[in-house]
């Protein structure tokens, strides 16, 4: 079992990821994520001193377009896949509640 990630770490990451996991899933994912983290640790073998990070293959900045009006999708189109709607809004349960995220 990897030392890199504990079951508590996985619970915390799941919470940040907005995922609910059962205790069995926590145990299962901890083992699998630990194996992946052990593997990716091989990057520590490389000398990266002075190398600048590369986040993207096309290192472009500030791609601008004209600030011109153009048609977008209609409200009805935007809402058509909503699981619940109260036109012209998306409908959600109460934001503050008793749940674990509150």
Partner 1 sequence: MNPTQATLIDLRDAIAARSVSAVEAARAYLDRIEQYNGRLNAYHEVFAERALARAERVDAGEVGGELAGVPIAIKDVLCTEYGQTTCSSRMLAGYRSPFTATAVRRLEDAGAIILGKTVMDEFAMGSSCENSAVGPVLNPWDVTRVPGGSSGGSAAAMAADLCAGAIGTDTGGSIRQPAALCGVVGVKPTYGRISRYGLVAFASSLDQVGPFTHTVADAALLTKVMSGRDPKDSTSAHVDDAQDMADVDQPVDKPRIGIARQYMSDANDPAMNRAVQQALDIYRDAGAEIVDIDLPLTDYGIATYYIVAPAEASSNLARFDGVHYGHRAQQADDLIDLYARSRSEGFGDEVKRRIMLGTYVLSSGYYDAYYNRALKVRRLIKQEFDAAFERCDALLCPTTAGPAFRLGEKADDPLAMYLNDAYTVNANMAGIPGVSLPGGFADHDGHALPLGVQLIGPAFDEARLFRIARLFEKHTDHHTRRPPL
- Rounded to a whole number of angstroms, the minimum distance from the CB of residue 44 to partner 1 is 8
Nearest alpha-carbon partner for 93 in 79, 47, 36, 101: 101
71 in contact with partner 1 (CB under 8 A): no
Residues 6+ apart with CB under 8 A from 76: 87
68 in contact with partner 1 (CB under 8 A): no
Counts of helices then strands in the chain (DSSP H, E) = 3, 2
Q: Which of 3, 67, 69, 99 is in the footprint of partner 1 by CB under 8 A? A: 99
69 in contact with partner 1 (CB under 8 A): no
First CA to last CA across the chain, in angstroms?
A: 33
Q: What is the binding site for partner 1 (CB under 8 A)?
A: 5, 9-10, 13-14, 16-21, 29, 32-33, 35-37, 39-44, 46, 48, 51-58, 60, 63, 65, 73, 77-78, 80-84, 90, 92-102
């Amino acid at each position: 079992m990897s030392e890199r990630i504990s079951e508590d770490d996985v619970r915390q990451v799941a919470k940040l990821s907005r995922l609910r996991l059962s205790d069995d899933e926590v145990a299962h994912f901890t083992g699998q994520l630990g194996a992946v983290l052990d593997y990716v640790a091989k990057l520590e073998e490389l000398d990266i001193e002075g190398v600048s990070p590369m986040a993207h293959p096309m290192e472009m900045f500030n791609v601008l377009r004209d600030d011109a009006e153009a048609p977008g999708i209609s409200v009805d189109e935007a809402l058509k896949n909503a699981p619940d709607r109260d036109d012209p809004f998306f409908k959600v349960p109460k934001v503050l509640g008793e749940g674990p995220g509150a």
